[in-house]
Structures are given as C-alpha cells and as structure tokens.
Amino acid sequence: MPPFLSKKARKKAALDLAFANDLESSGLFDEAEQRYLIVLQSDPREWRALHQLGSISLQRGYHVQALEYMAAAMKANPAAAEAKSNCGFILQKMDRREEALDYFSSSLVARPTYTAALLNRGVSLYQLGRLPQALENFDRALALEPRNVKALYNRANILHELRRFDESLAAFEQTIAITPDYAEAQLNEGLTRLLLGDFERGWQQYEWRWKTESQQHQRRDFAQPLWLGGEALVGKTILVHSEQGFGDTLQFVRYLPKLAALGAELVLEVKPSPHAILSGMNGVSRIVAQGEPLPHFDVHCPVMSLPLAFRTTLDTIPADVPYLKAPIDRLQKWGRLSSRQDFRVALAWAGSATHKQDQLRSIPLKELVPVIARAEGVEWISVQRELRAGDVELLNKLPNVRRHGEELEDFADTAAVLSYADLVITADTAVAHLAGALGQPVWVLVTGRIALGILRSGFSDRTSSAIGAVLSRAWRRPLRALFASHRSAAVNTVAHSVVHSASCHSLRRSAKVASLIGRSGSSAFRLSTAAVSMSLTGSCFSSDSALRPFQYGIRERGGTIYWAAWDCQESCV
C-alpha cells in the first residue's frame, strides 16, 4: 500500500483484497470484480487487484481487457513475475506466441524458479515447433517440482514427437502414477502404444478418449449396453455410430463386414456427407444420418472402438481392399472424366479451415503452383471443396487444372472423381482415407513438424498418426508420405515425383525410360518408412544425386503403378 494511506485504510484495503480473493476462488466473479474495484478506489496502483481483474477478464474470454489489466499491473509493479507470466499466457491464447515468449522470459528473469512461467514458455515453444527448447523448459520445471503433472505430461508429448518413444512412455507412466484418472495422459500413452504396435494395451487405453476434455461431450449415452466384443450377437441388432472426423469413419467401417459375419443385424449411424458412399457396404442393413430417429437396437459400439472389440492385432486388421466403391450413378454422373490422354492427378491441398492444427495440415495453393507448372504431361483435377482466399484467382490462371471441387456434393461424388484418377495427392486426411478405401494410389502431403509423428505410421495428427499404423498395413498397398521441414523443399519434391510418376505412366505405353526431372532442393526431405508395410519387388533405383539417400520401388500390377519409398538408412524389408 502507498505510504499516504492511513493505517486504518491500509487494513481495510487488505481485508477487501482478501475478501475479493475468496469470492473469486468460489467462482463469484461478479462480486469479486466489484470488490477489486473498491480496492482500486482506495489505491489505483494496487497491482494485485489489477492482476486479479485481468484474471477474471481472462476467465470470461475478454482477452483484450485482460491484457490491459495485466499491463497496468506490470506498470504498478515491474517486478511482478505473475503479471508478466499471465500477460504471456493471454497473448498465447490470442495466438501471439512470439510476444508471449518474451513475457515468459521476462517473468523468469524476475523469478528464475517460477514454475508456471517455465510451463507456459514450454507450451509456447512447443506450439512454435521448437521441440528441444520446449523440452528443456519442462525439464527445468521438473527439477524444481519432480511431481508436477503438467510438466510430466507435456514432456511425454514432446518426447513422442521427437520419436523418443520409450522415454515418452516412461513419462506418461509417471504422470499416470501420480494422477491415474488423467484422461489425456491415458489416451496419449495409448496412442503411443498403438504407434509402436502394442495394440492390446493401446486400444484399451484409447477408450479414455471419452473422458478427455475435447471428446467427453461426444460420448453417446444410450440405455442399451455398450458392446466391446464380450457378448454373442446372433439374432441381435447392433448400432455402430460414427465419431470424430469423416476420415475416421471411412477408415474404420472396414470392420463392418466382420461384425455382420457374427450374425448381427447392423445399423450404421453416420454424418450426412458419407451416407451415400457407405450405402453399398457389405453387411449393413440400414444407414441412418445423425439427427434422424434411430431404429430399435440391442447394443451399440462407436466405430473407433471396433478394433478393441475384435482384439485386433497387426495380423488381423481387416484388409479386404477396396472395401468402398463409388456408386454406379455417381460414376455415370462423372462419366465425362472417363476419357483422357495424360497422367491424371486428383489434388486436395487443404483440410478443414476450422481444424485446430490447420496450419500444420493445409498447404496454400500458391505454394503448389510450381508443382503444377513443372509437371508436363499431367492433367490435374481439383477435388478441393473448401477454397481459401485467392484460390479462385489462382485456379483461373492454371489451364491444366480441371476444377471440380465445388461440384462435389458429398463423398460419393469425391469417390467417383478419384476413381477416374491415376494418382491422388492430398493434404486432407479424409480424402486420403477415402482413396485408400477405394484402392487408389495416394500420396499424403504433410509438414516436417507433423512428420515426426508419422514415421512409424502414416498420418498427420497424433490420433491419426497412431491409428494410421492400421491404415498403411491394411490397405495392402503403399501409402506415400511426402514431407519436408521447409515448404519450398516439399514443393520441389512433389514436382519431381509427379513428373516421375507421369513418366512411368508413359513408360507403360512407350517402353521408353524417362529420367527424373527436378531436384528435391533440401536434404531435410524424408519419406515415411512405415508407410510401406509390405515391400514391393520391382526395380529400385535413384536417378538423381539429390536423392541418393533414398530409393524408390515401383511395380506395375493390373495397369496401376504402386509407389513405395523408404529411407535407405533404415532397413528395407
């Protein structure tokens, strides 16, 4: 308190501040706010009151107002480590991560042992992709507080992304030993085990998803019991309901014929978009769109719990590919694509703009223009339904791109268009899952940051990467993952590879070998080794010195070129 306040006034202000803290702790934010304002009437520079008003504004989601209060608190007390750290936290919430880092660092200058600032700085570094630096911050936090659950959990996640899987599992186990009901830790440990091929424990822990903050609201509570494989289904009706993204449904409906073979009548509930493409699946008695009244059923199962219900191992993954087919009426609708001369590539460069990791998944179309321009003898078909700012203008300038994305009504339309392509290249995992289910050759474009999580599997976010271990093996054909730590390198790599594929396509007709065109542009380029779960026996070669660390396996089978790629520094099966 300032020296000009009387002893009585200082005592009253202290009592008001303590009372306001109690009100805030009880969740009575309106009452607490009024009491803090009373404190500020007595002393406008009481930094603790300013700080807590900022905290209340943050709780309400008023980030700009919260930032103003925290700035005032720092001005009133430049040494306040809490205000500096919380100012960084607000900026972190506003996706201003570089600015947030400065405040966290400033907080640690004021108080080097401030664990909260170390944790917050670690999170910002993680979000920025600076994984080793993030790990260092969590290690420092654990040196101060060895049982800090948040530090252990975040450390486990970073070790996972750094491919230090054994250490990651140990950190998850430490986290769970302290807090057994930490759902996110249980789930992520399970995903790590799935990625390593420990399906028995991995699928069991995957059930923790229903208790995580991000997915608990998606859990379906039916009066009928949950079926996880322990009960005979002969003569019974089972409801299988979709969950999470479209790609997840498209991937795991592979289990439905096995389910029907157990003697069950099968009702499938899905979102409207994949309704038509799934309507012809073997064993499905009825398909219901989400939101429609459900028919009678005896038991139910979420679609992504089916691997657990069938006690799936790597050798028992359903692998009857293709297990989806484009409906005849949709193939007829798109019959104008049946005639072509050039090698045809279907392209999707972005997923959903609302995905929390969209910046790590989608690629701006402008960065793929060099690929399209370089690839002579290639006809491109856009299956990109959601166009971003500037995409229309760019597409209008690309005469060799046939623009069909906006015409696609649902996944049945997309399936028909993909069926008329020689190759699918996509950054959208739903399109990748669909192409794989159709038996189409597919390349997945991912960034270097994401690539760290897919080297043993085949897909992009943490869940898809672990569960993608199922996908690459079960398609029984190679999934090629192309990625680079720099997008410019990725662009050159894709251009190089597409031209090579087009050359191989021509080779079938002309029997002339075309040399590889273009260079990868970066030694940072890597290909997924686990994407090739069944090696191809064709010729292996490297025609470009820029690609010496890599070999490509090409095999022609049934008129289709199947691609495989692997890093020669790892063993080739």
Strand partners, 527: 482
Mean pLDDT of the chain: 76
| Range with lowest mean pLDDT among 25-39, 85-99, 285-299, 488-502 | 488-502
pLDDT tens per residue, range 362-390: 888 888 888 787 777 888 999 998 888 88
Give the Cα separation of 98 and 104 in Å (integer).
Answer: 10
* Full DSSP string of 458-518: --SSHHHHHHHHHHHHHTSSPEEEEEESSHHHHHHHHHHHHHHHHHHHHHHHH-------S
CA angle 433, 439, 444 (to 5 degrees): 45
Share of the chain above pLDDT 70, in %: 73
Q: Give the burial string for 197-220 (b: 16+ CB within 10 Å, else e).
A: eebeebbebbbbbbebeebeeeee
| Range with lowest mean pLDDT among 55-59, 66-70, 188-192, 497-501 | 497-501
**Token digits for 569?**
């520094």
Asked if 343 and 423 touch (Cβ cutoff 8 Å), the reply is yes
Give the Cα separation of 330 and 319 in Å (integer).
Answer: 25
| Range with lowest mean pLDDT among 64-68, 107-111, 263-267, 450-454 | 450-454
| Range with lowest mean pLDDT among 8-17, 80-89, 112-121, 226-235 | 8-17
Say whether 192 sits in a helix, a strand or coil.
helix
Q: What is the pLDDT, as a whole number, of residue 532?
A: 23
Question: Is 90 exceeded by the pLDDT of residue 332?
Answer: yes
Give the Cα separation of 333 and 434 in Å (integer).
Answer: 19
Confidence band for 546, pLDDT divided at 50, 70 and 90: very low
Asked if 13 and 2 touch (Cβ cutoff 8 Å), the reply is no
Q: What is the pLDDT, as a whole number, of residue 139?
A: 97
Q: What is the pLDDT, as a whole number, of residue 138?
A: 98
Give the Cα separation of 91 and 202 in Å (integer).
Answer: 36
Cα-Cα-Cα-Cα dihedral sign, residues 411, 412, 417, 420:
positive
Across residues 568-573, what is the average pLDDT?
23
Across residues 160-185, what is the average pLDDT?
95
Q: What are phi and psi of 96, to 5 degrees?
A: -105, 70
Torsion-angle region of residue 61: left (phi > 0), alpha (psi -120 to 50) or beta? left
**Token digits for 464?**
């898809």
**Token digits for 243?**
């969950």
In this structure, the number of other CB atoms found within 10 A of the CB of residue 537 comes to: 7
Question: Is 70 exceeded by the pLDDT of residue 56?
Answer: yes
Q: What is the pLDDT, as a whole number, of residue 29?
A: 76
Q: What is the pLDDT, as a whole number, of residue 165?
A: 93
Give the Cα separation of 266 and 260 in Å (integer).
Answer: 6
Question: Is 80 exceeded by the pLDDT of residue 469?
Answer: no
Strand partners, 238: 266, 299
Question: Is 50 exceeded by the pLDDT of residue 551?
Answer: no
Q: What is the pLDDT, as a whole number, of residue 386?
A: 84
Question: Is 90 exceeded by the pLDDT of residue 105?
Answer: yes
Asked if 424 and 346 touch (Cβ cutoff 8 Å), the reply is yes
Across residues 181-191, what is the average pLDDT?
96
| Range with lowest mean pLDDT among 80-84, 164-168, 523-527 | 523-527
**Token digits for 80?**
């306040």
Domains in the chain, CATH or no CATH each = 7-211 (1.25.40.10), 220-309 (3.40.50), 338-567 (3.40.50.2000)
225 secondary structure, DSSP code = P
Confidence band for 361, pLDDT divided at 50, 70 and 90: confident
Share of the chain above pLDDT 90, in %: 38
Confidence band for 52, pLDDT divided at 50, 70 and 90: confident
Question: Is 80 exceeded by the pLDDT of residue 511?
Answer: no
pLDDT tens per residue, range 242-279: 998 888 899 899 999 999 999 999 999 998 888 888 98
| Range with lowest mean pLDDT among 66-75, 107-116, 361-370, 545-554 | 545-554
Give the Cα separation of 383 and 403 in Å (integer).
Answer: 7
What global pTM score does this model have? Answer: 0.75
Q: Which of 346, 449, 455 is nearest to 401 (CA)?
A: 346
Question: Is 90 exceeded by the pLDDT of residue 140?
Answer: yes
Length of the chain: 573
Q: Which of 434, 183, 203, 474 is nearest to 319 (CA)?
A: 474
Residue 554 CB contacts under 8 Å (≥ 6 apart), including other chains: 504, 536, 538, 539, 561, 562, 563, 564
| Range with lowest mean pLDDT among 45-49, 446-450, 492-496 | 446-450
The more confident residue out of 550 and 104 is 104
